[in-house]
Amino acid sequence: MTILYHNSSQIIQVEDQGRLYKRGAEMSEIPILEKGWMLVENGKIIDLGSGKCPGCERYDESVDLQGKLVLPAFVDSHTHLVYAANREDEFAMRLSGKSYAEIAAAGGGILNSARKLAEAPEEALLHGAYHRLQDLMRMGTGALEIKSGYGLSTESELKMLRIVRQLKEKSGLDIKSTFLGAHAIPEKFKGNQEGYVNLVIDEMLPAIAEKSLADYVDVFCEEGYFNLDQSLRILEAAKAYGLSAKVHVNQFNSLGAIEAMVDMGALSLDHLEVMSPKEISYLADSQTIATALPGCSLFLDIPYAPGRAIIDEGGILALATDFNPGSAPGGNMALMMSLACTQMKLSTEEALVAATLNGAAAIEMSDEIGSLERGKWANFITLPPGFSLASIPYHFGHNLIMDLYLKGEKKL
Nearer to ligand NIG, 325 or 359 (CB): 325
What is the sign, positive or negative, of the torsion defined by CA atoms of 283, 284, 285, 289?
positive
Please report, for residues 140, 286, 325, the alpha-carbon distance to residue 64 in angstroms, rounded to integers and kept in the order given: 20, 43, 40
Binding Zn ion (rule: CB under 5 A), the pick from 90, 279, 322, 373 is: 322
* DSSP states of 382-412: EE-TT--TTHHHHSTT-----EEEETTEE--
Nearest to 230 by CA among 198, 258, 208: 198
Q: In what order do the strands lie in the sheet with 268-271?
A: 74-76, 141-147, 174-182, 216-221, 244-249, 268-271, 289-292, 317-319
Nearer to Zn ion, 222 or 322 (CB): 322
Strands (E), 253-402: 268-271, 289-292, 317-319, 380-383
Alpha carbons 360 and 259: distance in angstroms, whole number: 23
Q: Is 150 annotated as a binding residue?
A: yes
| Region from 41-49, 233-241, 319-327, 333-341 binding ligand NIG, contact rule CB under 6 A | 319-327
Q: Does 234 bind ligand NIG (CB under 6 A)?
A: no
CB atoms within 10 A of CB 212: 12
Q: Does 220 bind ligand NIG (CB under 6 A)?
A: yes
Nearest to 270 by CA among 378, 97, 283, 282: 283
Binding ligand NIG (rule: CB under 6 A), the pick from 296, 311, 339, 381 is: 296
- Binding partner selected for residue 326 from Zn ion, ligand NIG, none, CB under the kind-specific 5 to 8 Å limit: ligand NIG
What letter represents residue 148's amino acid?
S
Q: Does 324 bind ligand NIG (CB under 6 A)?
A: yes
Alpha carbons 296 and 329: distance in angstroms, whole number: 8
Which helix or strand (DSSP H or E) is residue 237 part of?
Answer: helix 228-239
Nearer to Zn ion, 136 or 389 (CB): 136
Q: Does 326 bind ligand NIG (CB under 6 A)?
A: yes
Binding ligand NIG (rule: CB under 6 A), the pick from 251, 268, 371, 382 is: 251
Binding ligand NIG (rule: CB under 6 A), the pick from 6, 22, 246, 248 is: 248
Nearer to ligand NIG, 6 or 248 (CB): 248
| Region from 34-42, 46-54, 261-269, 324-332 binding ligand NIG, contact rule CB under 6 A | 324-332
| Region from 203-211, 261-269, 322-330, 396-404 binding ligand NIG, contact rule CB under 6 A | 322-330
Q: Which of residues 112-151 bind ligand NIG (CB under 6 A)?
A: 113
Q: Does 249 bind ligand NIG (CB under 6 A)?
A: no
Does residue 188 contact residue 154 with C-beta atoms inside 8 Å? no
Report in angstroms how near the CB of residue 239 gets to ligand NIG at its nearest.
Answer: 22
- Return the residue nearest ligand NIG (CB atom): 326
Please report, for residues 218, 219, 248, 283, 327, the alpha-carbon distance to residue 270 in angstroms, rounded to integers and kept in the order given: 10, 11, 5, 11, 14
Q: Is 324 annotated as a binding residue?
A: yes
Q: Which residues contact 123 (CB under 8 A, 6 or more apart)?
A: none
Q: Does 322 bind ligand NIG (CB under 6 A)?
A: yes
Q: Is 108 annotated as a binding residue?
A: no
Alpha carbons 267 and 201: distance in angstroms, whole number: 20
Q: Does 94 bind ligand NIG (CB under 6 A)?
A: no
**CA angle, corner 271, sides to 89 and 233, nearest 5?**
105
- Please give the span between the terminal C-alpha atoms of the chain, in angstroms, as a whole number: 20
Q: Is 322 annotated as a binding residue?
A: yes
Report in angstroms how near the CB of residue 260 gets to Zn ion at its nearest.
Answer: 19
- Binding partner selected for residue 251 from Zn ion, ligand NIG, none, CB under the kind-specific 5 to 8 Å limit: ligand NIG
Report in angstroms how near the CB of residue 152 gets to ligand NIG at its nearest.
Answer: 12
Q: Say which DSSP state 328 is in.
A: B
Which residues are near Zn ion by CB under 5 A? 322
Annotated binding site for 4-imidazolone-5-propanoate: 87, 150, 183, 251, 327
Which residues are near ligand NIG by CB under 6 A? 109-110, 113, 220, 248, 251, 296, 322, 324-328
Annotated binding site for Zn(2+): 78, 80, 248, 322
